[in-house]
Amino acid sequence: MDDILCAGCGIKIQTENENAPGYAPPGALKHNPVICRRCFRLKNYNEIQDVPMTGDDFLKLLSKIADADALVVYLVDIFDFSGSWIPGLQRFIGKNPVLLVGNKNDLLPKSTNPNKLKNWLRRSVRGLGLRPVDVLLMSAEKNHGIDDVMQNMEYYRNGRDVYIVGVTNVGKSTFINHLIRQSGNGDGEITTSHFPGTTLDFIGIPLDDGHMLYDTPGVVNLHQAAHFVSEQDYGEIMPSKEIKPKVFQLNEDQTLFLGGLGRIDYTGPGRRSLIVYASNALTVHRTKLENADDLFHRQYGHLLTPPSHRDGLPALKRYDFRTDELNTDIVFSGLGWVTVKGKGARVSAYAPSSISVSVRASII
Ligand code: GDP
């Protein structure tokens, strides 16, 4: 059979894998022209669907941006920053400016200081070689801060095209669908005008001045929380609403378990507060340090959940810290973070290697 290309985006049509690019249900092949399901949804429902791609295909695609003169809007999930990182992003986008947008800020407690959070995001991406022109926060789902993002996009694109990039699950479709609704006249007519303006694998939405806003497929980052736990566990560790801090007064040589996925040992000096910011569904368990190993062996997947199933014991990687900021966050990417109050605390954190652990000055 000759390759059939989607009349919308040009991708090679395939009928086997619903979750891979170019999928069309077999019945769609009878139609002329043939379009992939992603374009079908866009055309008929004004709806962008994220199409996950494997790293190599995605990076090849992304490298086309380097040849364009455009603004790159890079969406990250502020709850899972490490999982949101696209390795090599700075190389693939060339000299184009990047606007960094932290999504899902509705999950953070109201007491979060947005400037501290932005500084942390800025520092984190700089450490990875990316220098964004600006850092913004929003909630695509709750429609907080989207207008500000749109205004800044307009400002920084300065008459050029825009490319929206992000790994899967950061909320890219939620955001773009919002933009589509905003740009349309509400009766669905916009779709036909969007439709022909697509380039291979990038779906284009026309902007007022004849330039385009391109949605790029989401790359799968295996360090994302969604990939290292089961779907059920992901539902538990990913907060569905604003997280409520849980305060613990710890004596020296006490341990907190974050379900079975994270552990923090506090060895001193003195008594102090540790505050856990994580999904309300994650059980936090306190024990004496001397009992912690035994508890983990016996209770992983039982008392210490998620994970909801015990399937062997994972090896945990250990990280040692001595806090030097007044209040320090130990961040377990995708799980949440623990604020350690006061300077000079000795803390050891443990997590499976899929969960990255880092420190930052407290964002509260
Ligand atoms: P994509 O894969 O990047 O296109 O991500 P989606 O737009 O499909 O969103 C992935 C998941 O994150 C979905 O369950 C969304 O409901 C959720 N989500 C998206 N934006 C937000 C947000 O601003 N806040 C919260 N709490 N969840 C969000």
Q: What whole-number percentage of the chain has pLDDT above 70?
A: 87
The answer to which of 123-127, 220-224, 238-242 has the lowest mean pLDDT is 220-224
Half-sphere exposure of 352 (CA within 13 A, CB side): 20
Residue bearing the CA closest to ligand 1, atom 27: 104
> Tokens in use for 40?
């079908």
Q: For a pocket test of ligand 1, which of 143, 172, 174, 175 has the largest count of ligand atoms closer than 8 A to its C-beta?
A: 174
Take atom 10 of ligand 1 and give the residue whose Cα is closest: 169
Q: What is the pTM of this model?
A: 0.84
Give DSSP secondary structure letters for 165-205: E-BTTSSHHHHHHHHHHHHS-SSSTHHHHHTT--BTTBEEE
Ordered by where they begin, the domains of the chain are 1-45 (no CATH), 47-215 (3.40.50.300), 229-361 (no CATH)
Using only C-alpha atoms, the chain has a radius of gyration, in whole angstroms, of 22
Q: State the distance from the centre of ligand 1 to the C-alpha of 164, rounded, in angstroms.
A: 15
Span 9-40, pLDDT tens digits: 677 899 999 888 789 999 888 887 788 887 78
Pocket of ligand 1, beta carbon within 6 A:
50, 103-104, 106-107, 139-142, 166, 168-174, 218
pLDDT digits (tens, 9 = 90+) for 145-200: 999 999 999 999 999 999 999 887 888 888 988 887 776 544 433 332 333 333 34
CA distances from 363 to 88, 111, 116, 283, 337 (A): 27, 9, 5, 23, 10
90-94, 95-99, 105-109, 231-235: least confident range: 231-235
Tokens of 243: 């997280």
Q: Residue 124 Cα, ligand 1 centroid: separation in angstroms? A: 22
